[in-house]
Structure 1
Amino acid sequence: MRGPHNIWRLIRTGATFERSGAMRLALEALDAPRSLRIAARVLGWPFAWLGYAGDPNLPPISRALTALGPAYIKFGQIMSTRPDVMGDELADELKMLQDALPPFDMETAKKSVAHELGQPVEEIFSRFDPPIAAASLAQVHQAVERETGRTVAVKVLRPGIERAFLRDVDAFYFAARMVELLSPSARRLRPMDVIEHFESVVVGELDLRMEAAAADEFRSNTLKDEGFQVPEVIWHLSARRVMTLDWAEGTKFGDVPALAAQGADLIRLSERVLQMFLKIALRDGFFHGDMHQGNLKLAPNGDVIALDFGIMGRIDAYTRRVYAEILIGFLRRDYHRVAEVHFEAGYVPADRDMDAFAQALRSVGEPIFGQDARRISMAKLLAHLFDVTERFGMETRTELILLQRTMVVVEGVARSLNPAMNMWETAKPVVEDYIRDNLGPQAVLRDIATTVRVLSRFGPLLPGMAEDALIRANKPANRRSHRSEMLPWWGWLFTGGGLVAFIGLIVSAF
């Protein structure tokens, strides 16, 4: 599908931005060079009539994004958490994309629920209310289960959303391929891999059985975390296009005045959100990948409630340690160690100058330490980071895309509560705890014990593997031609395979 027909889709994207008036606002918000603004207007104006009209009642950028489809709305949701990049006015405008989009009609929702659950809605629920929230892919209804009387949240996918989303992604692939062909310097950013990662993440949102499983696992992991809640999945009322959870009562994080009226300590709450995210991500390697204001509530008892588990991320133990070492290096202003970790992990090509890279990292870190966040220009900081990655040939790490994106979103949420919050100082205690627990002597012993357990599982197989290897080595043809290459038994013992087998046999004996 990634053919030239997508040129038409991309032309209509630009035309829609121009027609709605969003093009000028977006370029101004991103502080684009004047030459780029002029070029965009000159090239876009003749095609404006080709753009989608959108909802004239919406502000320009929200109007353009909603008209273009779900994948564009996802991008708008991310930008809504970054007033430091987009500006307060535009970020507030985009917040409606989180959960205040136009819903689809009740009759369609009821038919979908009945089809998925195999019963009429009236037989399952004694009450099924109009949608209370509508986002890019689904909408949520409050309902009361007839059998138990408990209040629940019923999430229903939008009709035809799968096809609409895949159409958008198809155009993104085409654009990424054009970027790779026309701009060789951009290949290090691996645009095709980035879009592939984006597709794999969001496709999980289009099967609510997978989201239910993610919610259940996330709840299990965080059940003992004080001050944090995840609603329970009601499995017998969940299917591919419908998911039902316990109702979570609380105030949405997007309504800051209501949080203040509830008596919340906004400064402490901003710190808790960031620290909870980091703690869970580093500890479990399984984290919420879409923690914008629309997916967070503050419970009456002060607990933070997480919602919407369609986008979840995983990072393996090694990557978590690398990430933590990079963070702690920045926090301690040990830029040489941060540079070493980047080289050790292969994030920077080995032929680059480590000392020069450490110096570049210092130029990124020093201007932000000890500063009130309101004095830091995130747009300029991100531009500088991009320059550093380009200079040192750093490629995009697809395994870290979602983690880094979510960190940006969570920091944006925290700063919406406390604009002066400094992410580095807030993150420091969490990262230090992780480093202490996972890079000290006890962690080394734990790693050795884990390795021994893995080897012990293969213990019963190792004698047979050794015997097969010896039989093959002693076949007549091999004895004549490779006699000089054969090792005595004690020599074989100290080769890689023999040593592993020897350790495995000892472990299995215990």
Structure 2
Amino acid sequence: MALEQLSNYTKFFSFILKYYDSDVVKSTANTALKEEVETDLEFNQKPEELVEDLKKMGPTYVKLGQLLSTRPDLLPDHYLKALADLQDDVETISYEEVERIFEEEIGVRIKKAFVEFDPVPLASASIGQVHKALLHSGRIVAVKIQRPGVRKSFLEDLDTLKQVADLAVSHSKAARKYALNDIIEELRYILLNELDYNKEAQNLIILKENLKKFDYLIIPSPVAEYSSSKVLTMDFLEGKKITSLGKLKKTEVDFNPLIDDLVEAYLKQIIVDGFAHADPHPGNIHLTSDNKVALMDLGMVAKFSPKLQEKIMMLLVGMSKKDGDAITEALLEMSEYDLATAHVDSFRKNINRLVMDSTSTNAEDMETGRVLLQMNRMAADEGIKLAVELNILGKILLNLDQIIAVLTPKYDLQQAIRRFMEKMVNQKMKQELRPENFYGFLLDNKKLAENLPGRLNKITERMAANEFELKINALDEDRLTDGFQKVANRITSGLIIAAMIIGAALLMRIPSSYSIMGYGILPFIFFIIAISLGLYLVYNIMFRDEHFRKRKE
């Protein structure tokens, strides 16, 4: 075990030594620490070189590279593009090994379970490979077999990455800025879900039910009796990758109804269901012979909470209308930031500039996903941390952009979002009015009704015993008391001044041997004092009172 750990550390640190002093890492660190960095740097390692190095590191690092492709706040654009297309080159599992794994997991030999089983795999990836087979019922299926030892390998690499990430966060400002440990934790969560084929089978069932009303979309159904955590048997769907279609096919067929279904389906997944196919890259989206879209590989799904769904709905409406302020408000409501350190006004200004620069509406020119990922980078630069789910949303939209641009280059995605949004809102409202949600509302009110008499009883008992206290944090008690005292003092001063004036007027009628301007000296002095005090009081009210000054300003 110690030798394996040493091997993992050696492999990792050899990679780190190569890239530690590279321009890519310096660019990331400078961005994190708000230091000036040139925008058109010539990096000493090309994106293709980084991709090849990650492949050599193994499947875990390939998955890490794919995850980093959704982080524009970490890497330059050309690196993001290279990482987004990152696929691992792995050797195929031998047919004898496939037979052994299938029998161990299912308890049945391949020759008995299937009439035919193609020993040559259809596809091979880091986690597993897929074979075509024929059931005794005549149903053609795809059988996905997990690689032996892949779980152990992933967990060892993840443990190494976690230890290094924790160390980096403890000693590096840049690592803390971008929450490097959270990235590794997210990678662990994604990989452990992908390694459990039972979860993928369940994902297929859920998505098939959610999208059953869309005529142009097909989701394969799993075969439960021939599936386990390491084996997944499902419908085989014959089709071609959308990116491999010929030009003649694109001109012969009107793909607009199909794309309408695809866009509406993904809006429904994100906004209404909160459960979305998170990896719709062209390799996982196939076009069948009858011109329908088959959604493949549901090992990775995204889940959005009800509150987040509402905010995303506001965001997409804002993007479709090119309303920079609405987009900014939606993003801020989905983010965490400190008002003392975040530059919200600068973020708002940059979002508005980005929206105004995005003038095109055609799918071939407009990159909705890329724009959303750019917004993420802007937020990080201004000290604002957007919700992690927005990275996933950006990746989903980025992949959809590619598919739409291939099949219908002139498709107006913004108009489509506006067109479908009303339907999404109606579906969302219907979902919230389901009986189970209504029962939850009734249960909450039932609890309130049950607890209310007891609470009222306690309140009345405390009031009767003169122990009832009302605490209000919204008011400054000292300030309120000072205000009342100031009012009382001014009323008293006014009464004294009025009394002095009235007294002086009465004394003026009494004859005096000493007089000034024909009036007795004593009433004259009282009158002058009263006038002086009155003017001083008026001066204080008009020019020194805080409330008056603020109102005047």
Q: What TM-score, normalized to structure 2?
A: 0.67
Provide the secondary structure at the position in 2 that maps to 1:408. Answer: helix
Q: Does 1:250 align with 2:236?
A: no
Q: How far apart are 1:262 and its partner, in Å?
A: 10
What residue is the counterpart of 1:13 in the other structure? 15
> Greater relative contact order: 1 or 2 (C-alpha under 8 angstroms, separation 6 or more)?
1
Q: Does 1:121 align with 2:107?
A: no
Distance 1:357 1:89 in 2: 25
What residue is the counterpart of 2:158 in the other structure? 169
Distance 1:394 1:80 in 2: 20
Asked if structure 2 preserves the Cα contact closer than 8 Å seen for 1:208 and 1:242, the reply is yes
- Partner residue of 1:457 out of 422, 439, 443: 443
Equivalences for residues 123-138 of structure 1 within 5 A: 123-129=112-118, 130-138=120-128
Equivalences for residues 318-397 of structure 1 within 5 A: 318-350=307-339, 355-370=345-360, 385=375, 388-397=378-387
Asked if structure 1 preserves the Cα contact closer than 8 Å seen for 2:128 and 2:145, the reply is yes
Asked if structure 2 preserves the Cα contact closer than 8 Å seen for 1:80 and 1:95, the reply is no
The 1:399/1:102 distance shift into structure 2, 3 A limit, reads same
Larger radius of gyration: 2
CA deviations on 1:4-45 (whole Å, 9 max, x unpaired) are: 986533333357999xxxx9xxx9xxxx9786734x59xxxx
What residue is the counterpart of 1:400 in the other structure? 390
Asked if structure 2 preserves the Cα contact closer than 8 Å seen for 1:315 and 1:399, the reply is yes
What residue is the counterpart of 1:500 in the other structure? none
Distance 1:383 1:460 in 2: 45
Q: Does 1:241 align with 2:247?
A: no
Q: Does 1:485 align with 2:468?
A: yes
Distance 1:80 1:259 in 2: 33
Higher mean C-alpha deviation, range 334-343 or range 300-309: 334-343
Distance 1:16 1:156 in 2: 35
Higher mean C-alpha deviation, range 128-137 or range 356-365: 356-365
CA deviations on 1:200-228 (whole Å, 9 max, x unpaired) are: 12211111111111111111111122211
Q: Does 1:213 align with 2:199?
A: no
The 1:454/1:199 distance shift into structure 2, 3 A limit, reads same
Provide the secondary structure at the position in 2 that maps to 1:248. Answer: coil
Distance 2:431 2:49 in 1: 58
Distance 1:221 1:448 in 2: 15
Q: How far apart are 1:62 and its partner, in Å?
A: 6.1
What residue is the counterpart of 1:50 in the other structure? none
Higher mean C-alpha deviation, range 153-162 or range 60-69: 60-69
The 1:419/1:85 distance shift into structure 2, 3 A limit, reads farther
The letter of the residue matching 2:439 is: R
What residue is the counterpart of 1:105 in the other structure? 94
Asked if structure 1 preserves the Cα contact closer than 8 Å seen for 2:272 and 2:431, the reply is no
Provide the secondary structure at the position in 1 that maps to 2:122. Answer: strand
What residue is the counterpart of 1:140 in the other structure? 130
Q: Does 1:151 align with 2:140?
A: yes
Q: How far apart are 1:406 and its partner, in Å?
A: 2.4
The letter of the residue matching 1:457 is: L
Aligned residues: 446
Taking only the aligned residue pairs, the percentage that are identical comes to 22
The 1:172/1:402 distance shift into structure 2, 3 A limit, reads farther
Asked if structure 2 preserves the Cα contact closer than 8 Å seen for 1:85 and 1:379, the reply is no
- Partner residue of 1:37 out of 39, 43, 57: 43
Distance 1:481 1:453 in 2: 38
The letter of the residue matching 2:153 is: A
Q: How far apart are 1:395 and its partner, in Å?
A: 1.1
Higher mean C-alpha deviation, range 127-136 or range 413-422: 413-422
- Partner residue of 1:276 out of 265, 268, 274: 265
Distance 1:321 1:400 in 2: 13
- Partner residue of 1:315 out of 298, 304, 329: 304
Provide the secondary structure at the position in 2 that maps to 1:154. Answer: strand
Provide the secondary structure at the position in 2 that maps to 1:301. Answer: coil
The 1:350/1:86 distance shift into structure 2, 3 A limit, reads closer
Distance 1:265 1:76 in 2: 36
Distance 1:455 1:374 in 2: 46
CA deviations on 1:426-470 (whole Å, 9 max, x unpaired) are: 5343335434665xxxx4995698765323235665555446656
The letter of the residue matching 1:412 is: Q
Asked if structure 1 preserves the Cα contact closer than 8 Å seen for 2:284 and 2:297, the reply is yes
Distance 2:444 2:265 in 1: 38
Unaligned runs of 5+ in 1: 42-58, 488-510
Asked if structure 1 preserves the Cα contact closer than 8 Å seen for 2:217 and 2:261, the reply is no
The letter of the residue matching 2:242 is: F
Provide the secondary structure at the position in 1 that maps to 2:115. Answer: strand
CA deviations on 1:262-306 (whole Å, 9 max, x unpaired) are: 954467756654443223222211110111122121122222111
The letter of the residue matching 1:9 is: K
What residue is the counterpart of 1:229 in the other structure? 218
What residue is the counterpart of 1:411 in the other structure? 401
Q: What TM-score, normalized to structure 1?
A: 0.72
The letter of the residue matching 1:226 is: D
Asked if structure 2 preserves the Cα contact closer than 8 Å seen for 1:153 and 1:247, the reply is yes
Asked if structure 1 preserves the Cα contact closer than 8 Å seen for 2:347 and 2:379, the reply is no
Q: How far apart are 1:182 and its partner, in Å?
A: 5.0
Unaligned runs of 5+ in 2: 29-37, 471-553
CA deviations on 1:50-103 (whole Å, 9 max, x unpaired) are: xxxxxxxxx966654433222333356679999x955999689x4764xx7532
Distance 1:88 1:265 in 2: 32
The letter of the residue matching 1:37 is: F
What residue is the counterpart of 2:498 in the other structure? none
Asked if structure 2 preserves the Cα contact closer than 8 Å seen for 1:260 and 1:266, the reply is no
Q: How far apart are 1:132 and its partner, in Å?
A: 0.7
The letter of the residue matching 1:143 is: A
Distance 2:277 2:469 in 1: 54
What residue is the counterpart of 2:58 in the other structure? 69
